[in-house]
Amino acid sequence: MLDPQDRILFTEALRPPDDHELSWAIGTTFTLDLVAAVAAPLAFALFDWKDDSSDHRADAIPLLEALRRYADRMTVFVQAGQIAVPKPQQFLLSYLDESIVEAVAPQRGGLFHPKVWLLRFEDAEGGIRYRFLCQSRNLTFDRAWDSAVVLEGPLIDRKNAFSVNRPLSDFVAALPSMATGSLHAEARQRIRQAEREVLRVEWDLPEGFAEHTFWPMGVEDHRKHPISGRRDRSLVVAPFVGDAALSGLMEDGADNVLISKVESLQELKPETIELFPEIYVLDEAADIDARAAEETVDVVNDALTGLHAKIYVADAGWHARIWTGSTNATDAGFGPNVEFLVELRGPKSRFGIEALLSPGSGEARFRDLLKRYETHEYRPPDEVEEGLRVTIEEVRAALARAELIARVGGEQESGLFTVAVIRGRRRLKLPEGAAVRCWPVMHGEGSAVGVEPGPAGPLATFEMAGEELTGFFAFSVEASAGGRKREERFTLNLTLEGAPEDRRERVLRTVLKDRDRVLRFLLFLLAAGDAQQAAALLTSVQSDGKADGAALSLDLPLFESMLRALERQPSKLDHVARVVDDLRKTTDGESLIPDGFLEVWEPIWAARQALR
């Protein structure tokens, strides 16, 4: 159990089963990196993102097509105000603003903190399979040690529901009520379908486990504490811990074990520390791989490293119970927060605390990543710093509640649009000592303007190009008190009103801004997303030497590829047709289509339509 060698990548967990395609995906996260969110459509599309050529422009090709196919099939709920600020001029993010839904916890003082995914897959014969991920990981570039449970199973043709799935169904049904804005009709329809169908899914449990329970927390009719019943000995693994929550968890059992982070442990009172004969922290050596990754991965914000898993283990006689998911051992985690845990039950000899903490013989095990927490140095919270943090959270909440709208005016002669950030029905109130700035994420912080509190009406105005129009706007909040300052930046997904209908076609023309890129894109589609095969096809297309590929000789290999697709996998041609149609909607777009391509394409597409 929890073998460090048994790792699963998030993208691998999202990939469709063999011979299946994604119908839709519903995800939840506390924090969100918009660039990391692109990884989900890439996984759904089974595309190879890697490109060995020196021309890194090709990297945008699989991203573009994955988003065009799957962004609209994905709905991700995120805590309002917890979207990281991306780098500017990332036009593909425009495909995501209708897929990202900001949410808040229904209970006062709570946060929307679950980290689950529910995916529906369908095969060619209409067979349905569901996959459920419950993890401690957010949808970010964090490089921390996390935990995850992955369950998969078929949709069973039966009248009666599996009662064990009722809590999961209730959780999915509750998601729209926590959204700060309105959901698209398609998203609501998927949630209703998931609510009904998940009741009839028969999950395949991980090997060795006999039973499971879903534990949504912080939603209506699900207030029961998940960790109850007989506990002879308990283990808590959590990066964030609190005195009251730990004391409650340790009411039963003996020889209990706590694993956390040094900075969290130092905030515990000595009497709480005494509840645990054994306390461990992650050994610094366990972060070596993470530090190496920082040198090669481009991230938006500082990524989280170290321990981030949330795991609770209880030995009870011959049996062991394991809970894992999003919940930290804090009052908020087991109180007003919206959280999700999965409980698994199996034999203690295999899944109990000793099995988890037994040292490795050969390959490293979880125990080998830990070291003893020997000396406790109590450090009470810094009241000034805590006050600054609270002020920023108040501003974050006020902006999320303000129902902000990004209203797009008509296109000017310059080709730019005037975009006004409008306060909604609620008056914007800011606490004393807080300064707020706002800017479109496409422009960067250099275009930021100050935000003043007040009644409904204009908040800020910006000039934006059509391909830059998106609901994502960045905010910077600076709090001052006691001669100290604290600043945080975050993104809100505002309701976008009045955007031109061809907004995404403008993005398409911007990304595919010359004929060479259009040709790469078309070849990528014919190669079914295989970057190496697309590169091989590209070598068969000879340019006449013009730098922008203005004149191309489309010879036999390309023609054969289209004919092969027509015979063996006509759906490839459907994707090509969609791109060609979008480009031909405007004169500028049509000018990007390589010379000679339409003469080859049109008779093949006519044959594809006749086959229907």
Q: What is the pLDDT of residues 486-540, one digit of tens each?
A: 999 999 999 999 999 999 999 999 999 888 888 888 888 888 766 566 666 665 5
Which two tokens mark 322? 């394991």
For 284-341, what is each residue's pLDDT tens digit? 877 644 444 443 333 344 456 788 999 999 999 999 999 999 999 999 999 999 999 9
pLDDT at 352: 94
Locate 195 and state its tokens: 């609510």
Residue type at 197 in one-letter notation:
E
Classify each residue of 414-430 as buried b or exposed e, where b means 16 or more C-beta atoms within 10 Å of its C-beta: eeebebbbbbeeeebeb
Q: 135: closest CA among 28, 247, 231, 54?
A: 28
Helix or strand or coil: residue 47?
Answer: coil
- Residue 151, beta-bridge partner list: 132
What is the CA angle 212-213-218, rounded to 5?
155
Q: Where are the alpha helices (DSSP H) in 3-136?
A: 10-14, 34-37, 39-45, 60-70
Question: pLDDT per residue over 440-499, tens digit each?
Answer: 999 999 999 998 877 767 889 999 999 999 999 999 999 998 889 999 999 999 999 999
Enter the tokens of residue 372: 């003893």
How do residues 188-244 score in pLDDT, each as one tens digit? 999 999 999 999 999 999 999 999 999 999 998 888 899 988 999 999 999 999 999
593-612 pLDDT, tens digit each? 988 888 889 999 999 999 87
pLDDT surpassing 80 at residue 546: no
Strands, DSSP E only, in 442-515? 449-451, 458-465, 472-481, 484-493, 495-497
In the predicted model, what is the mean pLDDT of residues 422-431?
A: 80
Give which of 124, 156, 150 is closest to 135, Cα–Cα: 150
Give the span between the Cα atoms of 510 and 514, in whole angstroms: 9
User: Sign of the CA dihedral 135, 141, 143, 144?
Assistant: negative
Q: Could you read off the pLDDT of 114-163 as tens digits, one per residue?
A: 999 999 999 989 999 999 999 999 998 887 888 999 999 999 999 899 99
24 three-state secondary structure: strand
Q: 550: number of CA atoms within 13 Å, CB side?
A: 4
Q: Please say whether the beta carbons of 117 and 22 come within 8 A.
A: no
User: How large a percentage of the chain has pLDDT more than 70?
Assistant: 87
CB distance 438 to 421 below 8 Å: yes
Q: Which two tokens stand for residue 13?
A: 């967990």
How far apart CA 604 and CA 247 sit, in angstroms, is 71
Sign of CA dihedral 330, 335, 339, 341: positive
DSSP letter for each residue of 241-297: B-HHHHHHHTSS-SS-EEEE-HHHHTTS-HHHHTT-SEEEEE-GGGGHHHHHHHTT-
Read off the tokens for 587. Answer: 């004169």
Provide the 3-class DSSP secondary structure of residue 78. strand
Q: Give φ, ψ of 181 to 5 degrees.
A: -125, -175
Task: Find the radius of gyration of the CA atoms of the chain.
Answer: 26
CA-to-CA separations, 64 to 24, 92, 372, 512, 594, in angstroms, rounded:
18, 7, 48, 9, 19
Residue 254 burial (C-beta neighbours within 10 Å; 0-12, 13-18, 19+): exposed
Burial of 452 per CB tally in 10 Å (0-12, 13-18, 19+): exposed
Phi, psi of 418, rounded to the nearest 5 degrees:
-90, 125
In which element (H, E) is residue 167 found? Answer: helix 166-178
Residue 2's pLDDT band (cuts 50, 70, 90)? low
Rounded Cα gap, residues 351 and 234, in angstroms: 12
Q: Is the pLDDT of residue 547 over 60?
A: no
Which ranges of 540-596 would DSSP assign to H, the alpha helix? 556-568, 571-583, 587-590
SS3 (DSSP) at 478: strand
